[in-house]
Amino acid sequence: MVIIQKYTRKWMARHVYLKLLSTTTFIQSCYRQLRAKKELQRLQQEAKELSIKPIGDLRTNSLKERRNNTIRAIKKHLNSDSDVECATVQFYGKSYNS
């Protein structure tokens, strides 16, 4: 009889411990999720505040800068050792003479 009681108490103690462990892990998970959501919201708000221009303007400026760099490179190449007097650069449907 004592042996059966011993194993029953052991099983009950282990069962309570595992339930407590499971509950603790669940609470920690929920807390970490809450913290992560708040951090994400903070980062999104910070990114919103830092963005000065819409992305369309940045892309347009970048394209204009690339076009100007390409034209400068062609002009530099033409001035160095080329026999060609003039080059036409077609950039996104527009023609530019150098």
- The pLDDT score that the predictor gives to residue 61 is 61
State yes or no: pLDDT of 23 exceeds 70: yes
| Between residues 72 and 22, the one the model is more confident about | 22
Q: Which amino acid is at 38?
A: K
State yes or no: pLDDT of 94 exceeds 90: no
Domain layout of the chain by residue ranges? 1-51, 57-98
The percentage of the chain sitting over the pLDDT mark of 90, rounded to a whole number, equals 39
State yes or no: pLDDT of 15 exceeds 80: yes
Question: Rg (Cα) of the chain, in Å, rounded?
Answer: 35
The H or E element spanning position 55 is helix 55-81
Three-state SS for 43? helix
51-90 pLDDT tens trace: 755 555 555 566 677 777 777 877 776 775 554 445 455 5
Of 58, 72, 54, nearest to 91 (Cα)?
72
Of 81, 23, 84, 62, nearest to 98 (Cα)?
84
Indicate the range of 43-52, 71-80, 89-98 predicted with least confidence: 89-98
Residue 42 CA to chain centroid, in angstroms? Answer: 15
